[in-house]
Structure 1
């Protein structure tokens, strides 16, 4: 029987070899890689599996090396060649993933890269007349109509992702322009969120965050990583994490005093004002 099966397979494969093979779509998409990077950071935050962070950082470096063009992003890459100017979706998802990668690694490079890409989006995608972003780059090939993506589909609407990014990045960098813009973007669609929340769930998440804002957690000291891991085991809605072993020039960290020798402190901050430092995660969670 085994010999018969082998013979059948050989005959089937011989016939199949005479047919035109299906097309293979093997291009690399920037936005989809960013979605994977975000998933890896979420998984690392939840499970603290080191391999997840290794793969996430490798993926982020790939995006930097193959899909960046100066301050710009390209949308696709194939056979080592990038093409097509990035859409708002690509920028929004990469910025989101880079902010998340900073929050699980405290490698400041990723937050600064998110800041650079955000500046490019503001300069080349923003429509001040409606306080939203166009889907296409103003420096790319001109179109008859430049549309804006507001409704969630399989992937959250690029404008809603960008609004979340502005809120998170604005809090990390203490940039009121960013946080105010995020609130203004939500105000443009607030009536739709209330009327059709099933089509604007990512906007609704931002709405909830503005109604019940979380805190900024700044960790400083030699045990910064273990403190971060312990805090990350909890779901802390609308909370941003920043940290350094000694000091940092990031706005959220640079004015905080180092913890006493050998100790690690958690600072709970809201609206650029911080409580007295706490020296255990249990104390920080209780205060939250």
Structure 2
């Protein structure tokens, strides 16, 4: 008999619809029952692609005896952290404070008013490896609720103090300036894995935003090590098992330091950030391998993640047929059977050996540089590449016959917007019409289905393609505004600039506190929770405040308003000390800080958007990696931004105006001269 989760929009919640647990979705019904019966709430938070969430579900939530115990002791609530990042962030803060660590599945026990008093992550069904069983834990927690009210009261008071303290805004801890950026880069260098790329330790996450800051730092001052960190790390990930060698796309993280054994789930947001980094790395290096990795990831997105309505699905599961990674790994015999005469070369390239490198199977990876492999095999690099492309196609076709991992097909506004922005950059740089169409179609879906007339963004478009559901958070509004700005830069259609401004205005109205100068993750008219969420760290995705500050700065450049730079630097000042000390936790914000410190390279293109002349100028702009680029075009309309006011087309010909620090150089009409202007080194301070 399905429980209450059967009609929910979230695929993750529906995964639990047949559990014998009497689950409630988050909402008043659960809390009213808890209040009426004075029972604690057991809150379980996870997401569809989470391997250990599946393990705990199979072991405990699908077990009738465990479910009966849960139903007798608690009001049980399930939350998809991707639909409700506010709830996840609030209670993850409590779990980390109580236990010193966090993760998913997250299990938190709350009083009927929503205050946490106990928390943890995964628990096995039976006592194992020093971990208590889930049933033993929940019995002890329920006993404490009945028998130790004073202890519960002390814990809940401490939790309320924790939330009160974290919600207070603080004063400056330093100055956000060029010296801070240098200190942050120096600290990043200490964490750099010079042997394997990325950052030391395992498990190993891409940490794309820190790599992006390194690339920006190189562009700012020419630091060779900064470029090495970004480039070598990206290529190392792209050669490892973290990257799907035949299908494209990156897994969430590597369980080892060598990038070999991934946690096989693929998340939309990881790949959005990595595609954008790959495009910018190619601009800086012209490395064909970087481009192949990036384009292969876009190919995966188009083939496996793009829905019929133009939206992008949220994730692909790590598991299929109950086994993690089964869809992706191979035996040597399977490779031989599929590839025939190409097998020997392919096995040498991807190091496929009898016995494998992962539970008797092989994870395809490229442990030796392709040029060296070609030399060892007596082939040219071109011959090797031709063979590997042919082998990839054959293995991909064979893999398509397997049972696929589950697809979480909900469309999340913020994550889709991150990918749309990456695709817009790729289409603009590589002049690829198919990628352009993919980006524009997704932007149109966001505009038409997830943004209302007032510029408010809704978080989720249901898997059923029904009505959009759930409040949009700060990250959704900011990411959508930035995506629309990027689509404007790609198409030069001023309508997208208007759309971005509409969302930006709504974002400031509902998420910015004018009194404290703070950005909040939840809107001022949203659901009242135990505290108002405000996450300042750039974690797996950029923090909402980081994205919002970039929106403000970009519109400041478009509108000729230098005050936005000063205001943004002041807004970041409370984080100055942690930005310098823990830069990997503020990778995106450091890039935003650079924009505020240095200002934009602003380019106004005047002329008809589809004309050959203006497209030649746009292509010249795309030649250069300009981390603080702001590009705008009026498209023949009345200027939609101050950057475009008073700009004229010389002699009726498409014209470019390059501006720095709100001062513009002589207008130009030919691409070569424009490229020369853009190549002028940025004056750093």
Match of 1:74 among 458, 462, 465: 458
2:422 equivalent in structure 1: 39
- CA shift for structure 1 position 127: 2.1
2:528 equivalent in structure 1: 142
- CA shift for structure 1 position 245: 5.2
Q: Normalising to structure 1: TM-score of the pair?
A: 0.85
1:116 equivalent in structure 2: 502
Q: Which residues in structure 2 correspond to 1:34-183 (within 5 Å)?
A: 34-71=417-454, 72-78=456-462, 79=464, 80-176=466-562, 178-183=564-569
Contact persistence 1:131–1:181 (CA under 8 A): no
Contact persistence 1:74–1:85 (CA under 8 A): yes
Contact persistence 1:163–1:181 (CA under 8 A): no
- Describe the SS at the equivalent of 1:203: helix
The RMSD of aligned alpha carbons is 2.1
Q: Which stretch has the larger CA shift, 183-192 or 132-141?
A: 183-192
1:252 equivalent in structure 2: 643
1:278 correspondence with 2:668: yes
Contact persistence 1:247–1:254 (CA under 8 A): no
Contact persistence 2:414–2:480 (CA under 8 A): yes
- CA shift for structure 1 position 86: 0.3
- CA shift for structure 1 position 83: 1.0
Contact persistence 1:125–1:135 (CA under 8 A): yes
- Describe the SS at the equivalent of 2:658: strand
- Describe the SS at the equivalent of 1:69: coil
Contact persistence 2:428–2:619 (CA under 8 A): yes
- CA shift for structure 1 position 158: 1.2
Contact persistence 1:46–1:232 (CA under 8 A): yes
Q: Aligned equivalents of 2:529 and 2:584: distance in 1?
A: 30
- CA shift for structure 1 position 41: 0.5
- Describe the SS at the equivalent of 2:532: coil
2:349 equivalent in structure 1: none
Deviations 1:74-107 (A, max 9, x none): 1112121111110111111111111111111111
Match of 2:628 among 238, 256, 266: 238
The 1:74/1:96 distance shift into structure 2, 3 A limit, reads same
Contact persistence 1:99–1:169 (CA under 8 A): no
Q: Aligned equivalents of 1:151 and 1:175: distance in 2?
A: 27
Contact persistence 2:411–2:461 (CA under 8 A): yes
1:7 equivalent in structure 2: none
Q: Which residues in structure 2 correspond to 1:189-208 (within 5 Å)?
A: 189-208=575-594
Deviations 1:110-130 (A, max 9, x none): 111111111111111112344
- CA shift for structure 1 position 280: 2.1
Q: Which stretch has the larger CA shift, 24-33 or 51-60?
A: 24-33
Contact persistence 1:127–1:133 (CA under 8 A): yes
Q: Aligned equivalents of 1:110 and 1:152: distance in 2?
A: 27
- CA shift for structure 1 position 43: 1.0
Q: Aligned equivalents of 1:245 and 1:116: distance in 2?
A: 19
1:13 equivalent in structure 2: none
Q: Aligned equivalents of 1:171 and 1:99: distance in 2?
A: 12
Number of residues of Structure 1 aligned to a counterpart in Structure 2: 266
Q: Which has the larger radius of gyration?
A: 2
The 1:213/1:244 distance shift into structure 2, 3 A limit, reads same
Q: Normalising to structure 2: TM-score of the pair?
A: 0.37
**Structure 1: 5+ residue stretches without partners:** 1-21
The 1:103/1:146 distance shift into structure 2, 3 A limit, reads same
Deviations 1:225-268 (A, max 9, x none): 2211221121012121112454542221121122113x332211
Contact persistence 2:565–2:596 (CA under 8 A): no
Deviations 1:37-88 (A, max 9, x none): 1121121122110111112111111112211233211111212111111011
Q: Aligned equivalents of 1:264 and 1:25: distance in 2?
A: 45
The 1:224/1:77 distance shift into structure 2, 3 A limit, reads same
Contact persistence 1:217–1:266 (CA under 8 A): yes
Deviations 1:118-163 (A, max 9, x none): 1111111112344221110111211221121210111111111111
Contact persistence 1:30–1:67 (CA under 8 A): yes
Q: Aligned equivalents of 1:256 and 1:85: distance in 2?
A: 40
Contact persistence 2:599–2:628 (CA under 8 A): yes
Contact persistence 1:43–1:52 (CA under 8 A): yes
The 1:103/1:47 distance shift into structure 2, 3 A limit, reads same
The 1:23/1:55 distance shift into structure 2, 3 A limit, reads closer
Q: Aligned equivalents of 1:229 and 1:245: distance in 2?
A: 16
